[in-house]
Amino acid sequence: MRGILLGAVLAVVCLPLGASDDGANINVDDIVHKFAAKETEFAQARNNYTYRQSVKLQELDPAGNPAGGYGSWEQVSDILFSPEGKRMEHVVYAPVQSLQHLVLTPEDMQDLVNVNPFVLTTTEIPDFDIHYMGREKVDEISCYNFSIKPKKLVPGKRYFEGQIWVDDRDLQIVKTYGKGVGYIKKSSDNQFAKFETYREQVDGKYWFPTYSRADDTLHFKSGEAQRIRQVIRWTDYKRYEGKSTIRFGDVVPDDKSKTTPPPTTKKQ
């Protein structure tokens, strides 16, 4: 069974926790616990936001072109709340998928939710080997760079493996590069592509995932290879106040005596 989605590990030499940074001694263990605490706070906050998730996956020829004989899969969903305040996903656009060489698996769908927008919380620290790589800028943002790898693969659970860049001021993840990994049965041929995910500060406090891109060639055990391109966008973040249901695209009526959510602008 074939599956695609995000991920890969860079081959690098890792510095242990507590290593020096350009001659200046820093407490890496303390940094990890501080940014994990911030990520925990962010994860809880994001659960109170509505947003739109747009995914497009394309099969490409070896040169990177969507030529004849290659298909695609696309889906646009609004992540919102029911009138009772229950978290829900509402699919607003899902044309018939035309994939010719790939089959989407449950692991692929799990990665969409948990791996592409990777968050490292305090309770998850013991599950990973975390190594400090040094400082690096991401779009002029000074960051701490870490390599992340799960210590053990628990059946049924998906993990991120790769690198993360943490803003050294806000202590939140601003970029990830890696792939989804997990326990896969030996009989399956489920491969996962490398991806990059970027975050933006959309509310003046938290860094939210807004864009993820994979452009990679999947090599299957059968000897076949398939190049893919996948783009995920998260847009229209709005904090849910619990007073009314937020729906994307609602129109505000002329009757100003009625309280309704403001209209939103649909993005790609």
DSSP string, 70-127: --EEEEEEEEEE-TT--EEEEEEE-PPP--SS----HHHHHHHHHTTT----GGGGGG
Q: Closest by alpha carbon to 112, among 233, 220, 198?
A: 233
- pLDDT per residue as tens digits for the range 39-70: 999 999 999 999 999 999 999 999 999 988 89
Closest CA to 161 of 145, 172, 148: 148
Locate the domains of the chain by residue range: 20-239
Q: What is the pLDDT of residue 83?
A: 86
Give the range among 52-56, 62-66, 190-194, 249-253 with minimum mean pLDDT.
Answer: 249-253
Q: What is the pLDDT of residues 1-25, one digit of tens each?
A: 233 333 332 233 333 333 445 435 7
Strands, E assignment, 10-71: 20-21, 24-25, 49-60
pLDDT score of 37 more than 70: yes
What was the pLDDT predicted at 16? Answer: 39
What pTM was estimated for this model as a whole?
0.81
Residue 251 pLDDT level (bands cut at 50, 70, 90): very low
Residue 135 bridge partners (DSSP): 144
- Compute the average pLDDT of residues 131-142: 96
Query: Alpha-carbon Rg of the chain, whole angstroms?
Result: 20
